[in-house]
Amino acid sequence: MSAHSVEDIKRGSHRLRGTLVESLADQVTGAIAEDDQTLIKYHGSYQQDDRDIREERRRQKLEPAYSFMIRTRTPGGVVSPEQWLKLDRIATTYAERGLRITTRQAFQFHGVIKRELKATMQAINAAMIDTVAACGDVNRNIMAAANPHESRAHAFVHAQAAALSARLRPNTRAYYEIWLDEERIAGSGDEDEPIYGDTYLPRKFKIGFAIPPYNDVDVFAQDLGFIAIIENGDVVGYNVTAGGGMGATHGDPETYPRLGSLLGAIAPDQVTAIAEAVVTTQRDWGNRAVRKRARLKYTIDDRGLDVFRREVESRSGITFAEPRDYRFIHNGDRFGWVQGENGLWHLTLRIVAGRIWDREQPHLTGLREIATHLLAVEPDATSVPEFRMTPNQNLVIANIPDGERAHVDALVAAHGLAIHEVASPLRQNAIACVALPTCGLAMAEAERYLPDILTHFDALLAKHGLSDQSIHFRISGCPNGCSRPYLGEVALVGKAPGRYNLMLGGDHRGQRLNVLHRENIDEAAILAELDQLLARYAAERRDDEYFGDFLVRSGVVVARALNLELAA
């Protein structure tokens, strides 16, 4: 670990440049200098090593098998067919594990070696996509409701998300100089960062836009959330939430997941001012001494919600209006075709744990063929075909004219992409974080274990006659919560290899946190516990009662103190 604190590294980095150029040129190692490992995150990349062979390489006295993960900044998760083809080419040329859709509607590439990092970044840029601020103590990829069914509202919300993403992007030219060979000019390393200042934010910062009744973006898990208020198909304002977050540390009560709190309502043209006020308040008030307590959720709990709200009002010059009523019905995706208000069609495909590669089935090839076909589709007057990643790691093929549906369906079927037609509701909704072998923080498997644990879980559901129940299941390899596990009706949070904390009692709408039910248990114990609970659920549930709601009503778990503003 670096001898320097993250705050020192940021301050001394000449606006995120550090010694990245020198690190990339050093051919002796596949790694980069320690402080640069912090800085490269702000450029959208992480140094990792293959944990499957870490021990073996240590025994052989070799350095770990270093490689880099790269994450895109794709607000609302939208890319064109042309961009898809370029990203596909990058995945097959430079990366090892295909294209990975993240829980924040971005792409990740894994396994890019240092020698090819710059070429990969350039190729991403050539697809008109960048990776600036995809990681690091800055505003991250902004999420927006994925399924463009209510076409007008979606287009509007997506445009706001994209504009805000551009507004909150750091000003530094470091990315262009390091990766794209832009010439250094006077002032390089000293760019004005009016929003971030010299040390950027105390910690990562996340924003999401939801369109009720769907909460696919899990708006209450965001540092800052915008819940669209829609009248006659138009967005007339937003309810604003602040202070959501998932990350926690095992055994440390000072850290915890938290649902965002409602601040009040605003008009659509007040989004930027409110976001800037929230971000700069967190910049100035966030805890820079203790990184584990540096997220906005702790700032709000430490200072008090009313004090925080007043500060945001004073910085923005906007007084929040009374929150408006809203209702979410669920936080998953709607699979298959839906027709938008604009008459075009949208197909949501299930992508297991967001990983698209040609393994059991030729999924990467299939989507390449679909993208190639869509390039040739005559554009509609209102919208062109596009790919939209969902916050649940799935994929929407959007804006398809009626006459093209059959062809898309044929390509979907030919490449085994119609998982949503055969998978159980449990499988369709499950989310897994990446975890092993790439994530340096993983304590247990998640993505790789998902298919197996779901097979066991499905068998239990069948045993109790519950196969058609849609239970929201999420698994994370550690308590950082990248799959937003604390919102699952059933969730596993990794503790050690093969051992998990079993969390129970979230709802279907992303409005209730689950609770720790059993700590540090193995697969046999997890399944025994679920078997017993599902037996009770089958016997005692009320009509249409979701599993998470049943667990709370029947007292199996005591719901965490609900944020009362949200409970209504």
Residue ranges that bind ligand SRM, judged by CB under 6 A:
46, 48, 69, 71, 102-104, 106, 108, 140-141, 204, 206, 221, 245-247, 295, 354, 433-434, 438-441, 480-484
365 interacts with, out of ligand SRM, ligand SF4, none, CB within 5 to 8 A per kind: none
Residue 439 interacts with ligand SF4 (CB under 6 A): yes or no: yes
Place of tokens 């979410």: 328
Q: Based on the residue annotation, tell me whether 439 is a catalytic residue of this protein.
A: yes
* Helix residue spans in 378-507 (DSSP H): 405-414, 419-422, 425-429, 450-463
Residue 410: both structure tokens together? 């044929």
- The candidate with the shortest Cα–Cα distance to 211, out of 233, 244, 188, is 233
| Among ligand SRM, ligand SF4, none, residue 478 binds (CB under 5-8 Å by kind) | ligand SF4
433 a catalytic residue: yes
Q: Which residue is nearest to ligand SRM (CB)?
A: 247
Q: Given the rule CB under 6 A, which of 236-244, 285-293, 294-302, 429-437 is the region that contacts ligand SF4?
A: 429-437
First to last CA, the chain: 47
- Catalytic (active site) residue 41: no
Three-class DSSP labels, 264-297: EEECHHHHHHHHHHHHHHHHHHCCCCCHHHCCHH
Q: How far is the CB of 435 from ligand SF4 (least distance, A)?
A: 4
Under 8 Å between Cβ of 234 and 268: no
* Amino acid in position 539: A
**Which of 135, 201, 278, 446 is in the footprint of ligand SF4 by CB under 6 A?**
446
Q: 81-94 vs 363-375: helix axis angle to the nearest 10?
A: 150
Q: Which does 476 bind (CB under 5 to 8 A by kind): ligand SF4, ligand SRM, none?
A: ligand SF4
Rg for the chain, CA atoms, rounded: 23
Q: Would residue 135 show up in a list of annotated catalytic residues for this protein?
A: no
Nearer to ligand SRM, 400 or 566 (CB): 566
> Which residues does 566 contact at the CB level (< 8 Å), separation at least 6?
220, 259, 262, 511
Determine the interface stretch with ligand SF4 among 51-59, 294-302, 480-488, 513-521 (rule: CB under 6 A): 480-488
CB contact burial 413-435 (16+ within 10 A = b; e otherwise): eebebbbbeebbbbbbbbbbbbb
**Candidate ranges 162-170, 379-387, 474-482, 560-568; the one touching ligand SF4 (CB under 6 A):** 474-482
**Among ligand SRM, ligand SF4, none, what binds residue 238 when CB lies within 5 to 8 Å by partner kind?**
none
Q: What is the DSSP letter of 209?
A: E
Pairing of strands 66-71, 45-49: antiparallel
**Torsion sign over Cα 254, 255, 258, 263:** positive
Choice among 173, 295, 368, 482 that is catalytic: 482
478 is catalytic: yes
Output the smallest distance, CB 453 to ligand SRM, in A: 15
Sketch the per residue contact string, 386 through 425, with ligand SF4: x for CB under 6 A, - otherwise: ----------------------------------------
Least CB distance to ligand SRM at residue 108 (A): 5
- Catalytic residue numbers read 71, 140, 204, 206, 433, 439, 478, 482
Contact footprint for ligand SF4 (CB under 6 A): 433-435, 439, 441-442, 446, 476-478, 480-482
